[in-house]
């Protein structure tokens, strides 16, 4: 079963965004390099993408799945277009796609031993 469990925001200032969300909502962030931080609550988490080359133009909802390649194949078969092929990052692997209405989303699977989608 796939589930929406992550939202990534493109930000120009990771440290400033971190301070804002920590002060406003009490969220704690973990740094994943100099240009990325994320909450790691295990529920629906928030990522702050500060790398302009890696950032999407808008908010990026991310869906967790157990089988990334199978999910990519289903997305394409259903009429979606892959906008960023499968890539690895600390904690797992993912790809981005655009649905038939033009919405960009991500799909990810955790690295072995990091937990797994239902």
Per-residue pLDDT of the chain (118 residues; tens, 9 = 90+): 788 999 999 999 999 999 999 988 889 999 998 999 999 988 899 999 999 988 888 999 999 999 999 999 999 999 999 999 999 999 999 999 999 889 999 999 999 866 544 3
pLDDT at 112: 82
pLDDT at 83: 97
pLDDT at 114: 60
DSSP characters over 25-49: H----EE-STTEEE---SSSEEEEE
Contacts of 58 by beta carbon, 8 Å cutoff, 6+ apart: 10, 104
116 DSSP 8-state letter: -
* Predicted TM-score of the model (pTM): 0.80
CA–chain centroid gap for 66, Å, is 15
Contacts of 69 by beta carbon, 8 Å cutoff, 6+ apart: 86
Give the separation between CA 5 and CA 102, rounded to whole angstroms: 20
Break the chain into its structural domains and give their ranges.
3-110
Q: Which CATH number fits domain 3-110: 3.10.180.10, 3.40.50.2300, 3.40.50.1100, 3.40.50.300?
A: 3.10.180.10
Give the separation between CA 97 and CA 102, rounded to whole angstroms: 9
């Amino acid at each position: 079963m796939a589930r929406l469990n992550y939202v990534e925001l493109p930000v120009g200032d990771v440290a400033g965004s971190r301070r804002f969300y920590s002060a406003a909502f009490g969220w704690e962030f973990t740094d994943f390099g100099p240009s990325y931080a994320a909450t790691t609550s295990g529920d629906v988490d928030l990522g702050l993408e500060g790398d302009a080359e890696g950032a999407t133009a808008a908010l990026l909802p991310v869906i967790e799945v157990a089988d990334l390649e199978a999910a990519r194949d289903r997305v394409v078969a259903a009429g979606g277009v892959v906008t960023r092929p499968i890539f690895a990052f600390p904690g797992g692997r993912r790809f981005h796609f655009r649905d038939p209405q033009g919405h960009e989303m991500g799909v990810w699977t955790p690295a072995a031993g990091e937990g797994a989608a239902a």
